[in-house]
Amino acid sequence: MPAQSVPGNQISETIRAAKSKGSPAIVAYITAGFPKREVFAKLLGEVAAAADVIEIGVPFSDPMADGTTIQRSS
């Protein structure tokens, strides 16, 4: 019987699983709705095929604390 994940631990478990295989975990970031709302879901699926973890950022009206790439995507 497979072990069940503890809610909230999926990210840590995914990173540990990649490490145990001797490879890094790929953690992707994408801004919600980028590049256009109509194609976001398709793009998200493509990113999910390559990444172990995906962080979806919420566009913010003043993203000054974020880097240039995130500022532009917001």
Active-site positions read 55, 66
Q: Distances in Å between the alpha carbon of 17 and those of 12, 41, 46, 74?
A: 9, 26, 22, 32
DSSP 52: S
Is the Cβ–Cβ distance between 34 and 40 less than 8 Å?
Answer: yes
